[in-house]
Amino acid sequence: MTKVVSDDFLVEADKSAWPLLPAERNWGGWRLGISLATAAAATWCYIIGEYVGYYLGFWKGFATLFAGSMIGMLIVALAAVPVCIRFGVDSIASAKPQFGTAGWIIPAVLQFISIVGWNSLLLIFFGRSTTQLFYALGWISEGSGAVLVPITVLIAVSLTFFFLLKGSAGVDRVAKVLVAHVFVGFWMLYVLLTHEWDKLNSALPAYANADSQWNYVTGIEIGIVSLLSWWPYIGAMVRMAPNGRTAALPIMLGMGMPVPLLCAIGIAGILVLQVSDPAQWLRTIGGPVYGVVALVFVAAANLGTAVAGVYASSIGLRHIPILSRSPWPVLLVISLAPVAVVGLTIPEMFFANFGTFLAFIGLGFAPLCGIQIVDYYFIRRGRVTVRGLFETGPNAAYRYWGGFNPAAIIAMVGGFVTYNYILNPITYQSRFPYEYLTASLPTAIVSGGVYWLLTVFFVRPAGKGGY
């Protein structure tokens, strides 16, 4: 009887934004690692790899992307994980000490837009892959894609909704089934390498810059911004683990490492066959059977990541007072509705502008991470009160001025300006010191520096922020 009551309570607890108690944080290292790997290994890896393959050959592209991914994952882990794992809270709660009891809405908006964007991309890819699968099996005619893609996007949205009715248990169950697709991805990379080895070694990138250093740095930058986009996801996942020792290895190996490894599929595909989608090139190499395997893999990969993203965004919505007590299905609908709209109205246009979306990830999350790292390690030195994360009254620790911390807002603006100056997110035109430092790293440093100066000389002397 006790176990049943405990399980029922756990389901409700992991659907809230309140700190999880130690007894409720029951994901061990393997369980967390499987969930993180399932979320990380989506078809965005192939598109990310495609963009790197525009500028670099296979081995150089893989090396730079691997380095950038590890750097990006480390930045996210340093920024959000300490508070999330310490108190059992999500990424939005971890940003309240810096942004304030009302200012947290800034990272919350970034989180929501980012996850909606990624999920739109993934489920559109899911729809396209499913359409190709039906065509390969002879179930539909070639011209049916325009109608079938929106329909399959809606089906994927519906499946995601039903999987998540059980909260984090739904994420866990989906991960245990779909984690197999990670190994299928490695098999696809093996097939491509063994069949096209000679072509791969001699292939030249189509849009390589005359400055080879610019190409290297761009590969690193793409890796960094791709992994910075894990900030919205990571808190909702690691809060289920009991401590940092349990979470550290799964974060770097489960969430950080699969991305560059599977991105290698996209790099190789675009260099040798001029297409990053494995569902297309596997059919060329191995015939319809390989093509069907790849299409099933793509569909499974995207669905697993979408489930994790919608769970994280729904937990984030709990911080909005009017939604704090809303039924869980209502939050799922709010998180999924924009994805359905994009999939029904502008799927091709959204898909075609992936590069711009990726740059805007760096524009938003590089300054946010810089601010959090400086505040937690260099100003507060780890002193955070869990009560302050949820208090909203006039005497709350993180009340600042009217619930907003001007230092964080100014630092974010400084980061936006810095990133835009160094790298235009639309045209990809760059300025010094991009070719030496990327755009994301200077942005994080500038934002953190501005935040430190304003906090030390103005905010802390004013007695604000619980310092």
pLDDT at 224: 95
pLDDT at 3: 41
Residue 11 scores a pLDDT above 70: no
Share of the chain above pLDDT 70, in %: 94
Residue 4 scores a pLDDT above 60: no
pLDDT at 245: 85
Which single residue is written with the structure tokens 């810059």?
A: 209
pLDDT at 432: 93
Residue 211 scores a pLDDT above 60: yes
Specify the CATH number of the domain 2-353. Answer: 1.10.4160.10
Average pLDDT over residues 199-227: 92
pLDDT at 10: 43
pLDDT tens-digit series, residues 240-284: 898 888 888 899 888 888 889 889 988 988 998 887 777 667 777
pLDDT tens-digit series, residues 297-312: 777 777 778 888 898 8
Contacts of 131 (CB under 8 A, 6+ apart): 140, 144, 145, 148, 149, 152
- Domain spans of the chain? 2-353
pLDDT at 145: 64
**Residue 398, token pair as written in the block:** 């993180």
pLDDT at 5: 39
Share of the chain above pLDDT 90, in %: 42
- Which of 1-10, 216-225, 255-264, 356-365 shows the highest mean pLDDT? 216-225
Per the CB < 8 A criterion, the answer to whether 288 and 136 are in contact is yes
pLDDT at 8: 46
Instruction: Fill in the amino acid letter for 19.
Output: P
- Least confident interval from 141-145, 197-201, 255-259: 141-145
Query: Per residue, what are the HEC states of the chain?
Result: CHHHHHHHHHHHHCCCCCCCCHHHCCCCHHHHHHHHHHHHCCCHHHHHHHHHHCCCCHHHHHHHHHHHHHHHHHHHHHHHHHHHHHHCCCHHHHCHHHHCCCCCHHHHHHHHHHHHHHHHHHHHHHHHHHHHHHHHCCCCCHHHHHHHHHHHHHHHHHHHHHHHHHCHHHHHHHHHHHCHHHHHHHHHHHHHHHHCHHHHHHCCCCCCCCCHHHHHHHHHHHHHHHHHCCHHHHHHHHCCCCCHHHHHHHHHHHHHCHHHHHHHHHHHHHHHCCCCCHHHHHHHHHCHHHHHHHHHHHHHHHHHHHHHHHHHHHHHHCCCHHHCCCCHHHHHHHHHHHHHHHHHHCHHHHHHCHHHHHHHHHHHHHHHHHHHHHHHHHHCCCCCCCHHHCCCCCCCCCCCECCECHHHHHHHHHHHHHHHHHECCCCCCECCCHHHHCCHHHHHHHHHHHHHHHHHHHHCCCCCCCC
pLDDT at 12: 65
Give the confidence band of 116 by pLDDT, cuts at 50, 70, 90.
confident
| Model-wide pTM > 0.85 | yes
Average pLDDT over residues 439-458: 97
Give the confidence band of 2 by pLDDT, cuts at 50, 70, 90.
very low
